[in-house]
Amino acid sequence: MDFLLICLTALAASGLTLFSGFGLGTLLMPVFALFFPVEVAVAQTALVHLANNLFKLGLFGRNASWRMVLLFGGPAFLASFLGARTLLWLADLAPLATYTAFGSQFALHPVKLAVAVLMAGFSILELWPAFSRLSIDRKYIPVGGLLSGFFGGLSGNQGAFRSAFLIKSGLSKEAFIGTGVVIAVLVDFSRLTIYSGLLASPEVRGNLPLILAATLAAFLGAFLGSRLVRKVTVRALQVTVAVMLLFIALLLGMGII
């Protein structure tokens, strides 16, 4: 049942990226977190995210601006190491507190709290109209790379800062997409080298068929979604998804999941 649920959610999440404004990693990671430790969920999502981005790389990579890849992607690549290391460090910390509710005991884990705060924060940013129109001066592009890479390594949330900093870079639509894909692949490769211990864990090695199936489901969702309707952001759907992510973030932060 878990296998089917995760695959169906991966398919739906990938299709929703075309309409909700949220990325695949943002939607898929909470699903994995329902069944696995949050740090393992981040690593599993990174594998699916990389596979999806490699597929996109073949389609759009040739349009990338290599100057922007160097200016933004270089710092992002390096900062993602630090973000991923921070995730592993948080995962090793003891619970901050425990409490009892509904006859069960729950623990407040630092890693869950950190990921929950980031999930909630990025969900709110996606709902904030001013953020979608935000464009930052080109001289700060390397700073944007550092921020995008760090949060990409820590929780997988790299796209929001990448778009905000690159939107004013003067790139054509094709170059913007291609550059974003190349940078995303760099960050995914970077953080996966740090996640190697997590990827060797029983939770990952014992679920490789699940990860492969989720990857294929994500590809299918993107394909079906692109055939059904052109890429648009439906505001009502965006709000619904954001509220769901905020609810999951609350449960995660409270140690309930």
Query: Where are the domains positioned within the chain?
Result: 2-253
Using alpha carbons only, give the angle 124, 19, 115 rounded to the nearest 5 degrees. Answer: 35
CA-CA-CA-CA torsion sign (135, 242, 236, 175): positive
Residue 17: what pLDDT? 67
Residue 170: what pLDDT? 77
CB contact set of 92 (below 8 Å; sequence gap of 6+): none
- Residue 83, pLDDT > 80, answer yes
Q: Check: CB of residue 141 under 8 Å from CB of residue 71.
A: yes
Tokens 């695959």, residue? 7
Q: What is the mean pLDDT of the segment spanning 43-50?
A: 86
Residue 227: what pLDDT? 65
The CA distances from residue 46 to 50, 175, 198, 232, in Å, are 6, 24, 11, 25
Tokens 């464009």, residue? 135
- Residue 128, pLDDT > 70, answer yes
Residue 207: what pLDDT? 79
With cut-offs at 50, 70 and 90, classify the pLDDT of residue 90: very high
Decide which of 236 and 40 is more confident: 40
Helix (H, G, I), strand (E, B) or coil at 185: helix
- Residue 18, pLDDT > 80, answer no
Closest CA to 22 of 239, 182, 251: 239
Residue 133: what pLDDT? 66
The DSSP code for 72 is I
Residue 72: what pLDDT? 94
Residue 161: what pLDDT? 78
pLDDT in tens, 131-177: 666 666 778 889 989 999 999 999 888 877 787 788 777 788 788 88
Residue 166: what pLDDT? 81
Helix (H, G, I), strand (E, B) or coil at 105: strand
With cut-offs at 50, 70 and 90, classify the pLDDT of residue 218: confident
With cut-offs at 50, 70 and 90, classify the pLDDT of residue 213: confident
Residue 78: what pLDDT? 96
Residue 36: what pLDDT? 82
- Residue 233, pLDDT > 90, answer no
CB contact set of 130 (below 8 Å; sequence gap of 6+): none
Calculate what percentage of the chain has a pLDDT beyond 70.
Answer: 89
Task: For 25-60, give the DSSP string.
Answer: HHHHHHHHHTTS-HHHHHHHHHHHHHHHHHHHHHHH
With cut-offs at 50, 70 and 90, classify the pLDDT of residue 124: confident
